[in-house]
A and B are shown apart, each in its own frame.
Chain A
Amino acid sequence: MGEAGSTEFRLPDLGEGLADAEIVRWMVAPGDSVTLNQIICEVETAKALVELPSPVVGVVAKLRVSEGETVTVGTAIITFEGADVPAMVEMPPETPDASIDARTEAPDDEGRSSMLVGYGPGDGDSRTGARKRRHAQRQRAVPVEQPAVSATVAAKPPVRRLAKERGLELSNLTGTGANGVITRADVEAASAPTATSSTPSRDGHDETRVPISGLRKRTAAAMVSSAFTAPHVTEFVTVDVTPTVELVEKLRAHPAFSGRKVTPLLIVSKALLFALERHPELGSRWDEAAQEIVTRREVNLGIAVATPRGLMVPNVKDAAGLTLVELAEALSGLTERARDGKTELSEFSGGTITITNIGGFGIDTGTPIINPGEAGILCVGAIRRQPWEYRDEIALRSVLTLSLSFDHRLVDGFEGSGFLADVARVLADPTELIALG
């Protein structure tokens, strides 16, 4: 309202739908004393003649606009002196401490043009200034990120993020998805150390090219994903499993197992379940999204099966709840269905831990890759008759090497070693199953 002692009166919004008005007639002159609400002038908009009442008690110092002049809303039209305007002060908002700072760059009301039912719209869009403050803060806090990829590259958001995490430029990749979309597998293939580039033959004659099947693709994606998200640790143990071999023979002869397939894998499975009960960490799962470690009561035991179509890992549901006979039946059913391509899709989901049996290929041991979403995988090699220390002498015994890969995020060496030792202990003497199981 101007400096102390003098008060300007600006043409207010008169709510007539117009932004300006003509000063038709002054009813006061410089030097006149005015009372509150005394009519000081008549103004005319294109619509109506309106009398303006004085907002103050005081003396007219100056008429700032001549009669007949048209001025816009907000123009100072008169100055008063010695004005008594006791309450004409800007009030802060209620409880300013608790409130947001509404005074910084408050919306400017003076630029409003009048409207039918209110103060009218502002001159432009009002601005609270908050964005500027935030922008400045963000500039200080974090560097501006450059867009990771050009907008023409097609890839869905999780794949874009994966690429970013792997430090890959999507524009450098070739998409194998529909319409050239870059898939997760493309990113994973590009970032796998052994597969950073394809290996075209020098002359193109001594190679065959087979389209990558869906199963192969899924296996590849799963293995890459597992290998690069779960830090693997692999441990080995070699153990005399002669008592297990003998037990298998006895079971084969037992009427309860007549017509059922009994293999060392059955006892290995049972041993694993025995060990898992003591080391539940091996049955847990890393939930990245929820940032939680999930452990389920039910154990769905996965068995890696080589099939004509490729590697499959169906699982036996709630394996820990099965009797030995039931487990035998479940294992043989599982492998048969897998080889016949009749595995139900539900058998592939929800696995807890996996056994991979490479003994059938005559291999002693390996470093298996964990089935994604699980914490460990037990690799079973070939059982060989070989010289072994037995009761302080050299004897021919049935010897087996076991290896266990586990996800070091979930399982420490102490637990992983304990688990593998327990499996070995049972296979060395299945009596443990009865004694402690």
Chain B
Amino acid sequence: MSIATAQQLDTADTVTLLTEHGGDLREDDLFSPYLADIDDAELCRIYEDLVVVRRIDAEATALQRQGELALWAPLLGQEAAQVGSARGIRPGDFVFGSYREHAVAYLRGVDPTLILRFWRGSTHSGWNPYDINMTTPAIVIGSQMLQAVGYAMGIMRDAKRDDSIHDIAVTYFGDGATSQGGFSEALGFAASSHAPVVFFCQNNQYAISAPVGIQTSVPIVQRASGFGMRGIRVDGNDVLAVLAVTRYAAERARSGDGPTLIEAVTYRMGPHTTSDDPTRYRDADELALWKTRDPIDRLLRTLEYRGLATDEMLAAVDAKADAVAAEVRKGCLETVEPRPESIFDHVYSEPHSLIEEERAEFLDYHRGGAE
């Protein structure tokens, strides 16, 4: 089988602001202005986010290896794509994620312990979506994008009645999801209704074992033009470029210019999940190449160039990461498992005769009542 190679899929312009090998930021007429407020202190905070989310990810992976989680989908390598985009939107915006956006959830304020509850098998969700304006994991690939468009259609209607409303919807998905019909339908509905939605694709090069060339023979960003939509390809390991591009797309949506498709080109450095063995389908050379593009190292080089990477700063960041990791571990081990009969809770929001009947039978059976 002949599938598109990385080189063939790398033909579109890609926005990059962090230089590859150190030095200060590249200037870009369109996107640099979106970083005007990012001062040195803010750069350090972004660095801290990257390190902390990687640490949470590592702790969760370890907890899975220790038998505390059923599964974990590591985000290793995708920190910049997630931190940059999450920082590019507002608390009032609503995120429709896939299942690997642990960093996005963390930055939107969810207690990371709650993120783990899902992967432990203690719940199907983890948090109240309205608490942080972000949905809980969507496991069926490509199911969440249409919902984001619908939510954005709702915002449009609200904004007609209240001109102070400038919320947008943001949806995350991977390269594999672009093959799903829901992706094309979502782009079609969004473009035709002009909905304020940002489509954020983390192209991490693999859908489990399938390289992106199996999904597409052109760069994913090109899908946008067919729908009459703005598409931007961004270096997904460049946290500042991702931040700028996301702010740009969000601003377009907020100001009524409609949806944007962002393709953030990144790399899943770990397995698809803790149950996966990527050595079966990709070369060590490829991983080694992407390690040279590590998103944390990329930003660290700029911090070093600016003299911000002091020992104190780096130590403080590590201490913060360790503290969060300890919190995550403690929370995971202290998980209060659901009551067995809670399976009957929340199937419906209004009384349902069958559920009531079965709940009563269930309780009677387990409490040892004889008929």
Contact = CB atoms under 8 A, between A and B. Distances in A.
Contacts of A137: 368-370
A333 interface: no
B333 A88 contact: yes
A13 B368 contact: no
A44 to B, nearest CB: 11
B62 A53 contact: yes
Nearest to B335: A91
A100 B341 contact: yes
**Dominant SS among interface residues on chain A:** loop
B366 interface: yes
**Dominant SS among interface residues on chain B:** loop
Contacts of A138: 370-371
B366 A130 contact: yes
B71 A118 contact: yes
Contacts of A179: none
B21 interface: no
Nearest to A95: B339
Contacts of B59: 37
Nearest to A120: B70
A128 B369 CA distance: 14
Interface stretch (A14-22, A207-215, A304-312): A14-22
B370 A99 contact: no
Nearest to B208: A116
B370 A13 contact: no
Nearest to B367: A100
B363 interface: yes
A48 B279 contact: yes
A117 B273 contact: yes
Interface in A34-61: 36-37, 47-48, 50-53, 55
A25 to B, nearest CB: 16
A141 B280 CA distance: 61
B364 to A, nearest CB: 9
Given A53-B62, A138-B371, A99 B337 contact: no
A98 interface: yes
A171 B346 CA distance: 51
A87 B330 contact: yes
Given A55-B66, A100-B366, A94 B339 contact: yes
B305 interface: no
B102 interface: no
Given A13-B67, A134-B365, A100 B121 contact: no
A87 B71 contact: no
Contact of A134 (B337, B340, B369): B369
B216 interface: no
Given A10-B67, A119-B70, A47 B337 contact: no
B209 interface: no
A128 B362 CA distance: 12
Nearest to B331: A87
A134 B121 CA distance: 29
Interface string B143-171: 00000000000000000000000000000
A94 B342 CA distance: 10
B65 A93 contact: no
B330 A128 contact: no
A383 B274 CA distance: 101
A135 B67 CA distance: 35
Interface string B341-371: 1000000000000000000000101111111
B181 interface: no
Interface residues of B, number: 35
A15 B336 contact: no
Given A15-B275, A128-B366, A138-B370, A91 B334 contact: yes
Contact of B333 (A87, A119, A131): A87
A48 B280 CA distance: 9
B323 to A, nearest CB: 13
A12 B340 contact: no
A51 B62 CA distance: 9
A14 B62 CA distance: 11
Contact of A100 (B330, B334, B363): B363
Contacts of B340: 93, 99-100, 102
B337 A15 contact: no
Contacts of A55: 62, 66
A10 B330 CA distance: 20
Contacts of A50: 65
A50 B341 CA distance: 37
Contacts of B64: 15
A53 B367 contact: no
Interface in B298-346: 329-330, 333-341
A37 B121 CA distance: 22
Interface string A88-120: 110101110011111000000000001111110
Contacts of B121: 118-119
A86 interface: yes
B13 interface: no
A133 interface: yes
B339 A99 contact: yes
A10 B65 CA distance: 11
A152 to B, nearest CB: 28
B131 interface: no
A17 B274 CA distance: 11
A12 to B, nearest CB: 3
Given A101-B366, A141-B370, 14 more contacts: A10-B67, A52-B65, A55-B66, A88-B333, A93-B337, A94-B336, A100-B363, A100-B366, A101-B367, A118-B70, A130-B368, A134-B368, A138-B371, A142-B370
24 contacts: A12-B67, A14-B65, A15-B70, A15-B275, A36-B329, A48-B279, A55-B66, A87-B329, A87-B333, A91-B335, A91-B336, A93-B337, A93-B339, A94-B339, A99-B340, A100-B341, A100-B363, A102-B339, A115-B275, A117-B70, A130-B368, A134-B368, A138-B370, A141-B370
Interface of B: 58-59, 62, 64-67, 70-71, 121, 273-275, 277, 279-280, 329-330, 333-341, 363, 365-371
Which 9 residue pairs are nearest across A and B when measured between Cβ atoms? A12-B67, A15-B275, A87-B333, A133-B368, A48-B277, A138-B370, A100-B366, A99-B339, A53-B62
